[in-house]
Amino acid sequence: MTDSQVVRLVLNGEIDAYEEIIRRYQKRIFILAYRFVWNKEEAEDIAQEVFMKSYKNLKHFDQSREFYPWLHKVAINTVFTCLKQRSGRKNEIEFIEEMHGDEKYSPEKAVEQRKESEQVASALNSLPPRYQIVLALREIEGLNYSEIAEQADCSIGTVMSRLNRGRKKLWEKLKRRTS
């Protein structure tokens, strides 16, 4: 069954059909949120909120379009709201690292890599949300400028400007932390 068919079922009153949407996209939405907030519990809360918002606003979904891009936009907007609310607040950083028994990793190297990852994540999280969002969409999600502009609801020129400024601010913060 396609996403469009599931959406039609839900809109026609078969509420339980929405569980299929959750099953299909729960992991992707959690990972998306986690990449922004670096906290498992907060990412789970955001994912749950995304599915509640998307269900509540499903009647506004344009069924002539693909479903996941719309859900992704709901997720980005929810993450952006979360980042704005916690802006200025120090956040705990959690990382899930699995080495899968790879012999090229030593405990010392793993500790060093974790420390570097924490420094980058901490520096990224300390940036204003407008820079966090575009940097994460570009560098983590791999979106192009027009996709970022659509997700962030701004022009391509604004995306380019925010990426440039965000990268400079991130670089400055990392230089200060390693000096």
The reported pLDDT for the residue numbered 177 is: 74
Run means of pLDDT, 10 residues per run, the chain, 179 residues: 93 93 94 85 93 94 91 89 64 34 52 69 82 84 86 89 91 81
pLDDT of 108 reads 63
pTM of the model: 0.60
- Output the pLDDT for position 95: 34
DSSP string, 150-177: HHHTS-HHHHHHHHHHHHHHHHHHHHHH
Are 129 and 80 contacting, i.e. CB atoms less than 8 angstroms apart? yes
Question: What confidence score (pLDDT) does residue 68 get?
Answer: 92
By the 10 Å C-beta count (0-12 exposed, 13-18 middle, 19+ buried), 137 is classed as buried
pLDDT for res 50:
95
Q: What is the pLDDT of residue 102?
A: 45
